[in-house]
Chains A and B, each alone.
Chain A
């Protein structure tokens, strides 16, 4: 037996992932692997128009096809259900959002009918036979145009403005009065892109007519949120909805908003007499119709700076485009303010934030949700000011960063940044990339006429939301704080089994949860079974359970840790009785008969089977005072939040703040205008690292996603709302072929806000988008170009450099010098 004194900490070790064994051998179980008896297959009929009235739908041809079981239309769904709950206040609370369009369609790809057949191919054929007559309406594809309300999407709301609020802190006017420089930026634009998980959305639903229970097997990544929407929509008690997830091939947030498709599958199952109905999303459906990230335009930005280039105030007007239906919105209208000042120290700011609906795919919480747009904006502002004032970009940041000795740092809007050391991250990144060498090479290259830029992107990954911020957008919402549940038990034969309310999509939750429990019980992680996926019937979830918003290391593992501590406490009481000693005399470890608890004074021990047997199968040996022990311990972890001040928009909105600092060297080819990454560094600080390879892997993933977004991935719509990038021919996801070699580094500034010092991570704050914009800025500023868009490819760079159509500094930026 290993004495407790020799305990090895598993947290922090590079333990291979427990998941690899099945995933790398092709033995994972994904939703589409599930085959059920009498299963049917559903296909959606989707609108080719971005905005049109539905004149008629004729499904008779489809229903007459042999093998077709039933069809559903929006009208039928509306008769049987309630519209989905709206998160936002009036007037958008009045809109009628159904999973199938009822009287009009509002984006290309919107489903308006569904057919259900005995095979996927039959369902495809049947879908072709559905006849729909449309009366096209004027589409609105630009959020700023939408705000003119010339063409209204939702008549019940009477406006396209979903939400508006002013976030003002400090004394903005005084800061501008005292400024040495005022920099004005006419507009900046953060483009619309999405995620391309290997596995698209999949739903299997069975509405059992015997007990009116609905059983979902699916890959939704926020099931506790989905069931709240579904229960109200379908008119069933929430306990009658079971959601089970298994292995999930990536989500990046986009799979949070699959509840409309889940609703249709359940209704189709009911109509089909309770047979299970499966829907597997095609890639084009995913790109056009699942969810996109928020597009945002930044107008009329003014920046006040002192004589040293220190930013003292920022004002700006932000217009967010949430697509055709708010769904998860308008939460994004406040979530960005978790990182209100970014990594910078300015105290005075006023942001006028509006969100509009447009005839485009609804948005969803895409990796870095709502915050990356704002962080990109701040990084652009910092860089533009640096170039205009002729301050080196690194020096500009160092002058404006929150200093290491200022943590915990309270932002102007009341968020508390837990820890960080941004200058140290910058130095590490410089060392890794060879900053001075590249600066020398850049000078030589420029003399040769080459366009090479070196960019810095500093960003935050705020994790573990305070859902009380939802009350800033709608004071009537009943949500606040954050919680996560976990269960830790000794099974009847003494196996340690852990269940947690997350639904991992590649983040290694089974491994890290086992590491945490292994440390509590002083046993090897391989002796711990962590249940795969999420299941409402495990009864470990809370209203916030799922996997999103960079929080598992804090919320999930805190819950696991709490449950393990409770189990350990029960085991101690039981072992003290069995070994006839007191609890202080006990130590935990592994002996000849496996994991055990041992009395230090006598050397007697009892293994886990013995303990479990006492509770489960030998209970007559238990004294009554131990009857309350179950060795089946549920723990709910709750984040220590308060409800924010909704009027002042002030409060602690997030618990932890991981940081990323990336550097890139980018060259724009003078003949082809193709931007090419010559060197790349990603430095991460997510506090105490639970499992280094898992963290490193997620840094690479987030970096790849961001580089793809910066250079390749763009949801392009034409003037009538056709999405022109609906396949991988045009929406080009990044692959290993396009990835540069990324040099990875990390520092650890432990969080005082989590029990382990860990901070949530994985989203990466879209650092590459900021970084590549900065590098392009560095390469092109001398040519009179200001990078004003987050998406830059050869076409846009050609239009900027040669055609002079966009990004011209003299039209975008004005500087007022008062010194």
Chain B
């Protein structure tokens, strides 16, 4: 079950500032919805623990994140893979940065793929939940970058 999403927003920062923020796990990861904790492994790898609650499936998900594309100040892309009760989740989130009149335009795209019983049990809830959480992330990013 694949959930795709995307959008864009503008912030009053330079592309370099936005890029540096997005590629710093310590700044970026806490914006993830229901963030609990994080372990940085190296410059491009970190693990985050987030709370998950989908219908009656509740628990914590350990997500391994990797910064797979880092083209300062144009593009940053993360790939993640996590395990949660009832299944696995893989996700990709990319950010394309371009200068704008007010600062930087951030065009973002993402895809989450759910594997396992979770897709069946929570199938209908995943897409709206994913969109809601993603909006939280974007809102958090905008706030942090203002």
Contacts and interface: CB of A to CB of B under 8 A. Distances in A.
A722 B1 contact: yes
Interface string A10-53: 00000000000000000000000000000000000001111000
A262 interface: no
Contacts, number: 48
A726 B120 contact: yes
Interface residues of chain B: helix, strand, loop or mixed (majority) = mixed
Find the residue from A109, A722, A723 having the highest chain B CB count within 10 A.
A722
A28 B121 CA distance: 33
Q: How many interface residues does chain A have, given as a range?
A: 20 to 34
A49 B87 CA distance: 8
Interface string B1-29: 11000000000000000000000000000
A722 B85 contact: no
Interface in B66-121: 85-88, 90, 113-121
A90 B120 CA distance: 36
Given A49-B88, A720-B2, A108 B123 contact: no
Contact of B116 (A719, A722, A727, A729): A722
Q: How many interface residues does chain B have, given as a range?
A: 10 to 19
A136 B87 CA distance: 13
Interface string A271-306: 000000000000010001000000000000000000
Nearest to A729: B121
A288 B85 CA distance: 17
A727 B114 CA distance: 17
Contact of A48 (B2, B87, B123): B87
A134 interface: yes
A721 to B, nearest CB: 8
B69 to A, nearest CB: 20
A48 B88 contact: yes
A585 interface: no
A89 to B, nearest CB: 34
Contact of A718 (B86, B88, B117, B119): B119
B119 A727 contact: no
A668 B9 CA distance: 48
A284 B117 contact: yes
B85 A48 contact: no
A723 B117 CA distance: 7
B89 to A, nearest CB: 9
A724 interface: yes
A138 interface: no
Contacts of B121: 726-727, 729
Find the residue from B85, B114, B119 having the highest chain A CB count within 10 A.
B119
B120 A720 contact: no
B1 A724 contact: yes
B115 A288 contact: no
Contacts of A50: 115
A720 B121 CA distance: 16
Contacts of B90: 136
Contacts of A134: 88
B115 A724 contact: no
B114 A722 contact: yes
B2 A725 contact: no
A724 B119 contact: yes
A128 interface: yes
A729 B124 CA distance: 12
B120 A48 contact: no
Contacts of B123: 724, 730
A221 B88 CA distance: 34
A109 B118 CA distance: 12
Contact of B115 (A108, A284, A729, A730): A108
A128 B86 CA distance: 10
9 contacts: A48-B86, A48-B117, A48-B118, A718-B119, A722-B116, A722-B120, A724-B120, A726-B121, A727-B121
Closest 7 CB pairs of A and B: A48-B116, A722-B119, A726-B120, A48-B115, A48-B87, A48-B88, A724-B120
Interface of B: 1-2, 85-88, 90, 113-121, 123
